[in-house]
Structure 1
């Protein structure tokens, strides 16, 4: 341990090293555990040393987002738009498996970070290269929402609240009581039929992998149909 600490002290501090250490800390203990003091301790430096490379925690978080978004696979050349979009979105979702804190971090930003903007710009470019009009692409990006980055928000998702606190995964929802089931029979019917594979859950803030791909494919099939029909919005007519 003493040798490891000495090695850390001898390794030059840099912005990249700080960001990657912050990502590792958030991966291990959750985003709520991240502080400049804890990060400095992990890096074996005094907290003030960090501020030579990142101005504040907001800048640190922006940089962390850019580090993980850069892990998303680049566009595959000579691939049709539908397969290209689907592949990159599922690559983004795999990135979230490695960094389950990322969805809430991305949502917390008032403006997208440079890496997020570059990713979105590239996805828009894929639609445009596939022959989509600016009008249709505009509406497609609205319809995709956060799903284009590999996550979506489920109704009354308690796991997202757990993700905010960094205390771990939320307990699975309990079955409706007989009284609730009698009052809301359709909800009870769906709750009884639902089955989710715990092994396929990407992480806090995300829904089940099967449900995600199911909705993604519905969207892409609908988008493909509109594209073939030459759809335009009323505003563009």
Structure 2
């Protein structure tokens, strides 16, 4: 069976993602392109398409890769505590990678397997609170939007400090979850 261009170049998805991280860190989103990533790897741009479909898929993979650091809440965790913990861990992660916050906002979150696993775990906890399936999608979205919003404020060097924003996020998460369960 013939190998694809990416396989002939000795590339892996992980290598492409590592190069994309480097390019993004050095040049930001405007400098991130299939051509710039290929240049970082010393290959022709067409070699990347065996591993990512296009720049949007590359950005989605970058975002989802960061979420791999987050453990989904246990299905038997206290639902309010589990939801709160995963969103606060997300806020903390975004605080360590503030350069990615605009990407999460522009892409309206992440779409990869890690993002889906976190979302599915959140839906399980919401179901345990009595939130039906239709409403749980809205609640998850509200939790994510709130977390991204607070992370964006923190990344923007807002007058409020990170600790105060995190405390406000904690209260907001509780309001959303308790309101959804009511």
Give TM-score, length-normalised by structure 2.
0.72
The residue that corresponds to 2:16 in the other structure is 18
**Structure 2: gaps of 5 or more residues:** 1-7
1:35 Cα deviation after fit: 1.9
CA contact 1:26–1:33 (8 Å) conserved in 2: yes
1:224 Cα deviation after fit: 5.9
1:123 aligns with 2:151: no
Q: Distance in 1 between matches of 2:125 and 2:89?
A: 15
Per-residue deviation, residues 131-189 of structure 1 (Å, max 9, x unmatched)? 232276455435424234684554xx994xxxxxxxxxxxx68xxxxxxxxxxxxxxxx
Per-residue deviation, residues 11-63 of structure 1 (Å, max 9, x unmatched)? 82012220232123323442232122221222122222222322321221122
1:85 Cα deviation after fit: 1.7
Q: Distance in 2 between matches of 1:52 and 1:103?
A: 27
Please, which of 155, 158, 165 is the counterpart of residue 212 of structure 1? 165
Please give the root-mean-square deviation of Cα atoms over the aligned residues, in Å: 3.4
CA contact 1:93–1:150 (8 Å) conserved in 2: no
The residue that corresponds to 1:68 in the other structure is 66
**Structure 1: gaps of 5 or more residues:** 1-9, 160-171, 174-193, 197-208, 232-237
1:112 Cα deviation after fit: 5.1
Please, which of 78, 81, 88 is the counterpart of residue 79 of structure 2? 81
CA contact 1:27–1:98 (8 Å) conserved in 2: no
CA contact 1:73–1:88 (8 Å) conserved in 2: yes
The residue that corresponds to 1:49 in the other structure is 47
1:72 Cα deviation after fit: 1.6
User: Equivalences for 1:83-232 in 2 at 5 Å?
Assistant: 83-109=81-107, 113-115=111-113, 116-129=115-128, 131-134=129-132, 137=136, 140-148=139-147, 151-154=150-153, 159=156, 196=161, 209-223=162-176, 225-226=178-179, 231=182
Q: Distance in 2 between matches of 1:51 and 1:13?
A: 11
Q: Distance in 2 between matches of 1:142 and 1:128?
A: 15
CA contact 1:25–1:39 (8 Å) conserved in 2: yes
CA contact 1:96–1:150 (8 Å) conserved in 2: no
User: Of Structure 1 and Structure 2, which has the larger fraction of its residues in helix?
Assistant: 2
